[in-house]
Structure 1
Amino acid sequence: MKAGSLARWVSTLALAALLAAQGASAAEVRVMISAGFYGAYSELAPAFEKASGHKLVTTRGPSMGDSPEAIPARIGRGEGVDVVIMDGKAIDDLAKKGQVQGDTKVAFARSQIGMVVKAGAAKPDISTVDAFKKTLLSAKSIAYSDSSSGTYLSTVLFQQLGVWEQIQSKSRKVRGPPSGEPVAAVVARGEAEIGFQQVSELMHVPGIDLVGPIPSELQSRVAFSGVLANSVENADASRALIKFLSSPEAAAAITKAGLAPMSGQ
């Protein structure tokens, strides 16, 4: 992050935090966040802390899946959290279970599922639905994440395309951070010919080439959002964080992370 950009964020955020949390003393905000929005969050968090005086305590995990590190599993075990940031659809599921305050949900950014190959490898055609299906069928091995994008691909899209039975045996689900790794890392080592994940989670991994997003008509329309948890202890500070992450001042970092900011839409 350039110093000038950070200074502008800090200056603007200082006023935003004051307006959002007047009279609130410095507080600790516990955040659970999935990988898709983490790139943008990691750049914005220091500015928020510096301007507001609040401290962010961050835990990472998938937004869904059967991993014990998945955010729904953590909340289900009773781990305390103030703000949850992840796939908006997964947030809706938590709201139905009464684990988060659904009426506080705010969308931050839209994402797309993309495909990568090992650096220097030929880039298959995925520009149309038919070309995408042919690429899936001809690939020697396929990797996808254990979070929202991979769940959508393996349980919805691949079946809708009628290819799951043919590709299931050569497909691998990859456990993501914090104990795992991005799908792109598996592809970079040559352990999978092609890999799929949110573009924001693929674009900065070394050793791969981003082929591009899958066809627009096949996208899952993921929107990363933030919401207050039922276990929230510092509501004013938590609301200030959500307000900033959805503000125009956060747009530059969101765009840099490969996402489309929702502010102003």
Structure 2
Amino acid sequence: MMRTLRSVLRKFVTVAFLAGALAAAHVQSAELHVMTSGGFTAAYQLLGPRFAAATGNTLETVQGPSMGKSAAAIPNRLARGEPADVVIMVGYALDELIKEGKVIPGSRVELADSRIGMVVRAGAPKPDIGSLDALRQTLLHAKSIAYSDSASGVYIERELFKKLGIEDDVKPKAKMIPRIPVASVVATGDYEVGFQQVSELLPVKGVTFVGTIPESVQSVTRFAAGIPAGASHPQEAEQLLHYLASPEARPAVESTGLQPVGEH
């Protein structure tokens, strides 16, 4: 009975949103500029077209890491004055932009949590990472290790290796991969194992997802979104953020390996 009631309520909310969005579309459509980091990209690629179809707005999207020195990083894009109505990124990196006055205070919307996982090349044996010792042995025996230049990679480089007590042993064969998905360099055989947030690993072909690292050394990354100061379409941007965080968006978010906020 409760499941039926929840299903009815979810459908009602969806219909209400779409009806309101369609009504707004008749008034005026907008071209929204969206910047999104890799962790939420797969979910956004599912939800963005639905929002656009419902509202009549168009979405011009660029991707980049939430932090780092690369030109594609979202903070660096904003610093260059690239247009943005919405930024979707790691929560603590978004908070820094709010402190700097680059994102409107109060516009922050919580989206989803992401865990770190590992992949190997398709066809390769799946190593055991189910316990701390198993993960430690897998890393010690791996010929090469790749990790991202965003939140998960920073954690791996600065904390995980130390927690496992193998920093000196693995650092010479471990490398941070800028700009591109870590799984892509594992798929080509350039690296034996790769670590990144699960939602960024799953879409890449040519690799096998091994699993998430043990919870005792796991780092959960919160993704959030906000509206930059000087956004051309703040009202439509707020509508997009509301939709991405809505109950009807949760199945799509979950399907990409993320955990929607509020469903712990």
Relative to the length of structure 2, the TM-score reads: 0.89
2-structure distance, mates of 1:25, 1:219 = 45
Which residue matches 1:67? 70
- Letter matched to residue 81 of structure 1: A
Which residue matches 1:153? 156
The answer to whether the 8 A contact 2:25-2:56 is kept is no
Which residue matches 1:230? 229
Which residue matches 2:219? 220
Which residue matches 1:105? 108
2-structure distance, mates of 1:80, 1:256 = 30
Out of 58, 78, 85, the residue aligned to residue 82 of structure 1 is 85
Distance 1:257 1:162, change over 3 A: same
Secondary structure of 1:103's match?
coil
Larger CA deviation: 153-162 vs 50-59: 153-162
Displacement of 1:129 in angstroms is 1.8
2-structure distance, mates of 1:26, 1:63 = 28
- Superposed CA deviations along residues 117-153 of structure 1, whole A, max 9, x for unmatched, are 1112122211112221222122110011112211121
Which residue matches 2:95? 92
Secondary structure of 2:199's match?
helix
1-structure distance, mates of 2:220, 2:21 = 30
The answer to whether the 8 A contact 1:40-1:257 is kept is yes
Distance 1:24 1:106, change over 3 A: farther
Relative to the length of structure 1, the TM-score reads: 0.88
Secondary structure of 1:156's match?
helix
Larger CA deviation: 247-256 vs 129-138: 129-138
Displacement of 1:111 in angstroms is 0.8
Which residue matches 1:262? 261
Which residue matches 2:19? 15
Within-5 A mapping of 1:29-178: 29-176=32-179
- Letter matched to residue 187 of structure 1: V
- Letter matched to residue 15 of structure 1: A
Secondary structure of 2:140's match?
helix
Within-5 A mapping of 1:232-251: 232-251=231-250
2-structure distance, mates of 1:67, 1:76 = 12
Distance 1:175 1:16, change over 3 A: farther
- Superposed CA deviations along residues 139-195 of structure 1, whole A, max 9, x for unmatched, are 11001111221112112222333322221110122123xxxx311111111111110
Secondary structure of 2:147's match?
strand
Q: Which runs of 5+ in 1 are unaligned?
A: 1-7
Q: Which runs of 5+ in 2 are unaligned?
A: 1-10
- Letter matched to residue 30 of structure 1: H
Displacement of 1:115 in angstroms is 0.3
2-structure distance, mates of 1:16, 1:215 = 44
Distance 1:18 1:264, change over 3 A: farther
1-structure distance, mates of 2:200, 2:106 = 28
Root mean square deviation of aligned Cα: 2.1
2-structure distance, mates of 1:169, 1:16 = 56
- State the number of aligned residues: 253
Which residue matches 1:186? 185
Secondary structure of 2:183's match?
helix
2-structure distance, mates of 1:239, 1:262 = 18
Which residue matches 2:28? 25
Identity of aligned residues (%): 46
Displacement of 1:261 in angstroms is 1.6
- Letter matched to residue 18 of structure 2: A
- Superposed CA deviations along residues 73-105 of structure 1, whole A, max 9, x for unmatched, are 111222221111011111112112221124221
Distance 1:39 1:83, change over 3 A: same
2-structure distance, mates of 1:16, 1:221 = 34
Displacement of 1:18 in angstroms is 6.3
The answer to whether the 8 A contact 1:142-1:194 is kept is yes
